[in-house]
């Protein structure tokens, strides 16, 4: 219904669509680009592409799958464009480390989010992306396959390694304070 | 790490956009739509004046030269033609500036 309204040029319907998907899409973008400012710029371009190409969406798959595929492709294109990607990752991670205050106290939501995001930035892009697609977007492996063009076996391996690496990074970051995360 | 624990952690990792993300996006879309309209208008105007100049060169001038018995000076017609071409060229330049601003 919303998609049909957008196809007819209803900008308010598009606004609703953006509101619905922007945070999850930004999380996926951050998984690959590892930099929130850059990720938001790329996401703006993604939504512009979506608005201008919405007529080519034929509803063969769900809208979310179509959108996330554009998100993933745009991020990889951006990565190709940026030569000094490694520097950005390092700068951003350092910022996060500075912001984490690991005193003996129950962490608030924002602090928890910062720590988990730092840990996700530390693991491989593929693993972070697959983890978020599976657990945050609640997609099936077959849908992740369509979005990322990874094989089923790679997705399963990335999920397994992603979980392990996430725990390992969180252990390193928090040590005995890990129980404060939940 | 267990599945439900990972789910909890990943759900907490949701990154939020800045508060003006949607407004900025909608503003960009509106600006692009407006630019697209202006581009079409400028292109139509450039084409209109170019066609008028071609008509003057190919039809009006030969008509005055060949069919009319009295003699007229050709200069005003050439001036008119040059003016039409200049106006057309002006619209093309505006169009080029607009393309630059879009990039």
Cα distance between residue B35 and residue A118, in whole Å: 41
- Number of domains chain B contains: 1
The pLDDT of residue B92 is 86
Dihedral (C-alpha) A41, A15, A126, A180: value to the nearest 10 degrees? Answer: 100
- Of residues A89 and B64, more confidence is placed in B64
Q: Do B29 and A24 touch (CB under 8 A)?
A: no
The pLDDT of residue A171 is 87
The pLDDT of residue A97 is 46
The pLDDT of residue B52 is 86
Q: How far apart are the first and last CA of chain B?
A: 47
| Maximum Cα–Cα distance across chain A | 55
A60 to chain B nearest CA, in Å? 26
Kindly report which listed range (A30-39, A160-169, B54-63) carries the lowest average pLDDT score.
B54-63
Mapped onto helix, strand or coil, the DSSP state of residue B74 is: coil
Q: How far apart are the first and last CA of chain A?
A: 38
Q: How many interface pairs between A and B have CB atoms less than 8 angstroms apart?
A: 81
The string of pLDDT tens digits covering residues B3-59 is 788 888 898 889 999 999 999 999 999 888 888 888 888 888 888 888 888 888 888
The reply to whether ipTM tops 0.85 is no
pLDDT at B70 over 50: yes
The pLDDT of residue A86 is 57
User: Which tokens in the block code for residue B20?
Assistant: 């003006």
Cα distance between residue B97 and residue B95, in whole Å: 5
Which residues from A are below 8 Å from B when comparing CB atoms? 11, 14-15, 18-19, 22-24, 26-27, 30, 36, 39-40, 43-44, 47-48, 51, 109, 112-113, 116-117, 120, 131-132, 135-136, 163-164, 166-167, 170, 181-182
Give contacts of B9 with chain A, Cβ < 8 Å.
116, 166, 170, 181-182
Domain with B75, as residue range(s), is: 30-102
The pLDDT of residue A91 is 46
3-class SS letters over chain A = CHHHHHHCCCHHHHHHHHHHHHHHHHHHHHHHHCCHHHHHHHHHHHHHHHHHHHHHCCCCCCHHHHHHHHHHHHHHHHHHHCCCHHHHHHHHHHHHHHHCCCCCCCCCHHHHHHHHHHHHHHCCHHHHHHHHHHHHCCCCHHHHHHHHCCCHHHHHHHHHHHHHHHHHHHHHHHHHHHHHHC
| Maximum Cα–Cα distance across chain B | 100
The set of residues, in sequence order, having a beta carbon less than 8 Å from that of A171 and lying 6+ positions away, is: A178
Task: Let me know: does A131 contact B10? Beta carbons within 8 Å.
Answer: yes
How many Å is the Cα radius of gyration of chain A?
A: 18
The pLDDT of residue B37 is 86
Specify if B44 maps to a domain: yes
Q: Best of A12, A92, A119, A163 to disrupt the B interface by mutation (most B CBs within 10 Å)?
A: A163
CB atoms under 10 Å from CB of A25, counted, come to 25
Q: What percent of chain A has pLDDT over 90?
A: 59
The string of pLDDT tens digits covering residues B83-93 is 888 988 888 88
Domain with A40, as residue range(s), is: 2-181
B18 shares contact with chain A (CB less than 8 Å):
yes
pLDDT at A12 over 60: yes
Specify if B10 maps to a domain: no
Q: pTM for this one?
A: 0.75
Specify if B70 maps to a domain: yes
At residue B82 the predicted structure's pLDDT band, cuts being 50, 70 and 90, is confident
- Number of domains chain A contains: 1
Specify if B20 maps to a domain: no
CATH number at residue A52: 1.10.1740.10
The pLDDT of residue A83 is 66
The pLDDT of residue A95 is 44
Among A11, A27, A48, beta carbon nearest to B13 = A27
Q: Do B14 and A24 touch (CB under 8 A)?
A: yes
Q: Do A132 and B13 touch (CB under 8 A)?
A: yes
CA distances (Å), origin A151, targets A95, A143, A158: 34, 11, 11
Mean of per-residue pLDDT scores for chain A:
85
Q: What percent of chain A has pLDDT over 70?
A: 82
Average pLDDT over residues A108-135: 89
At residue A94 the predicted structure's pLDDT band, cuts being 50, 70 and 90, is very low
The string of pLDDT tens digits covering residues A37-79 is 999 999 999 999 999 999 999 888 899 999 999 999 999 999 9
The pLDDT of residue B9 is 87
User: Which tokens in the block code for residue B23?
Assistant: 């407004």
- Of residues B100 and A131, more confidence is placed in A131
């Amino acid at each position: 219904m919303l998609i049909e309204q957008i196809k007819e040029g209803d900008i308010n319907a598009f606004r609703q669509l953006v509101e619905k998907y922007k945070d999850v899409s930004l999380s996926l973008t951050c998984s690959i680009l590892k930099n929130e400012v850059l990720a938001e710029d790329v996401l703006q371009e993604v939504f512009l592409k979506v608005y201008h190409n919405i007529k080519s969406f034929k509803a063969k798959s769900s809208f979310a799958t179509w959108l996330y595929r554009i998100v993933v492709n745009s991020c990889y294109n951006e990565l190709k464009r940026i030569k000094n990607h490694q520097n950005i990752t390092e700068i951003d991670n350092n910022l996060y480390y500075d912001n984490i205050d690991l005193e003996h106290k129950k962490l608030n939501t924002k602090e928890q989010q910062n720590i988990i995001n730092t840990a996700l930035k530390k693991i491989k892009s593929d693993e972070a992306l697959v983890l978020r697609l599976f657990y945050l977007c609640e997609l099936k492996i077959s849908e992740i396959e369509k979005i990322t063009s990874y094989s089923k076996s790679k997705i399963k391996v990335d999920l397994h390694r992603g979980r392990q690496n996430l725990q390992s990074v969180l252990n390193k970051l928090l040590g005995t304070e890990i129980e404060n995360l939940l | 790490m267990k599945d439900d624990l990972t789910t909890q952690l990943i759900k907490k990792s949701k990154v939020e956009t800045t508060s003006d993300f949607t407004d900025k996006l909608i503003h960009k879309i509106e600006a692009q739509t407006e630019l697209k309209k202006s581009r079409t208008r400028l292109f139509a105007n450039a084409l209109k004046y170019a066609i008028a100049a071609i008509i003057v060169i190919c039809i009006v001038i030969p008509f005055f030269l060949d069919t009319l018995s009295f003699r007229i000076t050709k200069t005003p017609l050439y001036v008119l033609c040059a003016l039409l071409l200049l106006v057309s060229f002006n619209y093309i330049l505006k169009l080029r500036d607009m393309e630059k601003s879009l990039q």
